[in-house]
Amino acid sequence: MAQAPARAASAVRLFDAHCHLQDPRVAPVAPALIRAAAASGVARFAVNGTSEKDWHLVKRMAEDHPAVVPCFGLHPWWVPERSPDWMDSLRRFFAETPEAAVGEVSSKLQNKASVAHSGIGYIIVSTSLGPLVTSIGLDKGSRGRTIDFREQVEVFWRQLELAKELERPVSVHCVRAFGDLLEILKQTGPFPAGVLLHSYLGSADMVSGLANLGCYFSLSGFLTGMKSTKAKQMLKSIPLDRILLETDAPDALPKLDNVSVSPVPVHSSDADTEKHHKDSESQAATASNESLNHPENIHIVLKYVASLLEMPETELAELSYKNANKLFSYPGSKVHPEAGDI
């Protein structure tokens, strides 16, 4: 059985455009995972916070690791658990972390707007205050269906408004709600700072409309679960300057018959481990590490996407790296256009 490409691919530069290394399942060994991925050619990691409970972990990880780009946001799954002052807390994290992007966000509409339901999705209705905006994080999947969709949409608005105010890109979680997402983005875009559609699995037909609104299309191991003919058609429709690669670690483990992946270690002697909560250590120790993804596996995503695009891996790696550098080179970011040779 073929082994997952890793250190042999160190000649290429890669940017993991979306991952969650603060996740309790891998946080205790995150330093080791970052080092291993860096040795294989992964130069940067966009680590996305998902709720008030982990923003401080992402902030600390970015302080400890120069290659980590911090992203703060409220993921739709955690919308019901937000505190009354969550937005103030989010603003504070951005004020304290000027290099941060907006990651997997949602927010809450107040009395300035109303939300209406159209034939294909929720839309924002303009009021006398002017056109209103909404942001990302829509989920109609098995877990998302347990969370009121109207509330998910409501929780978009202030975060996207904040992203525009700060001139930061936003990272979109969207599951089985691309029609709704497109309608919302049409009414609220375009987005000069960019919108990252992470683990994109939408149709080829939607790519053009989304790209025109400023969207980038980030591809993860979830793509291996799509029918290859459909995946190829979708990939061929994406403009080359909008393709990104990611792992979504510790999720989205690639599933390919001819490739085996290395497991995530569940023990680490790193001093960094002591910085994490004991419950995080316990969860990592009991997790099924065979099902966990890690950033070094971005090489598998690279190989698979390159094969479907009929493009050399080195060309796709460099292309996606430069695209990610461009997206994450907003004012104050760790990433700069002239730093492309890192």
DSSP 265: P
Tell me the CA distances in angstroms from 16 to 42, 219, 261, 287, 302, one per residue in order.
7, 10, 17, 23, 11
Tell me the CA distances in angstroms from 118 to 156, 174, 180, 268, 308, one per residue in order.
17, 18, 9, 51, 36
Contact between 203 and 234 under an 8 Å Cβ cutoff? The reply is yes
User: Nearest 5°: phi and psi at 233?
Assistant: -60, -45
Flag whether 91 is in a domain. Answer: yes
Flag whether 266 is in a domain. Answer: no
In this predicted structure, the answer to whether residue 122 has a pLDDT above a threshold of 50 is no
| Closest to 221 (Cα-Cα) out of 239, 257, 246 | 246
Measured CA to CA, the distance from residue 294 to residue 319 in angstroms comes to 22
Tell me the CA distances in angstroms from 178 to 66, 68, 126, 160, 325, one per residue in order.
34, 29, 22, 17, 26
The reply to whether the predicted model has a pTM over 0.85 is no
> How many other CB atoms are found less than 10 A from the CB of residue 274?
9
Taking residues 116-121, what's their average pLDDT? 37
Looking at 185-189, 219-223, 258-262, which range is the least confident one? 185-189
Total domains in the chain come to 1
Beta bridge partners of 195: 170, 215
115 class by beta-carbon count within 10 Å (0-12 exposed, 13-18 middle, 19+ buried): middle
Measured CA to CA, the distance from residue 30 to residue 27 in angstroms comes to 5
CATH number at residue 297: 3.20.20.140
Flag whether 338 is in a domain. Answer: no
Looking at 81-90, 111-120, 165-174, which range is the least confident one? 111-120
- Average pLDDT, rounded, for the chain: 78
Flag whether 342 is in a domain. Answer: no
Flag whether 239 is in a domain. Answer: yes
Specify the amino acid at residue 28. P
Higher pLDDT, 139 or 331: 331
- Residue-wise pLDDT for 101-116, tens only, equals 887 643 322 223 333 3
pLDDT computed for residue 174 by the predictor: 81
Higher pLDDT, 33 or 261: 33
- Provide the pLDDT confidence category of residue 67 given band limits of 50, 70 and 90: very high
- Provide the pLDDT confidence category of residue 10 given band limits of 50, 70 and 90: low
Q: Which domain holds residue 75?
A: 14-108+131-259+292-328
- Provide the pLDDT confidence category of residue 341 given band limits of 50, 70 and 90: very low
Length of the chain: 342
Higher pLDDT, 311 or 2: 311
In this predicted structure, the answer to whether residue 176 has a pLDDT above a threshold of 90 is no
- Residue-wise pLDDT for 278-329, tens only, equals 444 444 444 467 789 999 999 999 999 999 999 999 999 999 999 999 999 9
Flag whether 287 is in a domain. Answer: no
User: Nearest 5°: phi and psi at 102?
Assistant: -95, 120
Flag whether 123 is in a domain. Answer: no
Measured CA to CA, the distance from residue 298 to residue 221 in angstroms comes to 8
Flag whether 147 is in a domain. Answer: yes
